[in-house]
Amino acid sequence: MTRIHFAADHGGYELGRALEQRAITAGFDVVWHGADQLDPGDDYPIFAVHVGTAVVTDQDASVDAFGVLVVDDAFAGVVAVNKVNGARAVTTDSPRGSVRARAVVDANVLVLEGIAFEESAWLNLYAFVTSPMEQTVERGRQILQIEEYENSGTIEGWAVQLEPEQIHRSYE
């Protein structure tokens, strides 16, 4: 079962809670990392770090997990989440964008703006958590290069050549 880690700041609290309930109804394993009630004075960075850290921890433990952060300004949320080693946060405005973000960079956290329409946000979120990464040598190599830079500050592995059987494939 796919786990979705949710959080929201004051600007996304209502939409975040609505999406959380839709995910529960749809059968996802849901974890809420935001405040228990709306706090007009809260700040997004702490929620971004909580969601990013939870997703990376779960994925490192081989749990099928994603994050959804709903905030006042999605671009700021993306920057904050991406400070977590192993998090690959994006913001998209369509299900197609979500599918491409998963396919191309294996994004694991979706950041949405709190002003989004609930139905549009849900379709975007659902596409994100149900879409796979492209299972190609090229995509696998590119993700490894990103992770290498993230962990060592350099990309020396540009010549890494993976065989197709070395890339994890999920057949659902």
- As a whole number of angstroms, the distance between CA 108 and CA 102 comes to 7
Phi-psi group of 43: left, alpha or beta (phi > 0 → left; psi -120 to 50 → alpha; rest → beta)? beta
- As a whole number of angstroms, the distance between CA 4 and CA 121 comes to 14
| Residue 157 scores a pLDDT above 90 | no
**pLDDT 10s digits, 29-67:** 999 999 999 999 999 999 999 999 999 999 999 999 999
Tokens 């920057």 correspond to 79
Higher per-residue pLDDT: 55 or 146: 55
Amino acid code (one letter) for 134: E
Tokens 């490192």 correspond to 60
Domains, the chain, with CATH or none: 3-130 (3.40.1400.10), 137-166 (no CATH)
Amino acid 153: pLDDT: 83
Phi, psi (degrees; rounded to nearest 5) at 70: -115, 115
Amino acid 165: pLDDT: 61
| Residue 113 scores a pLDDT above 70 | yes
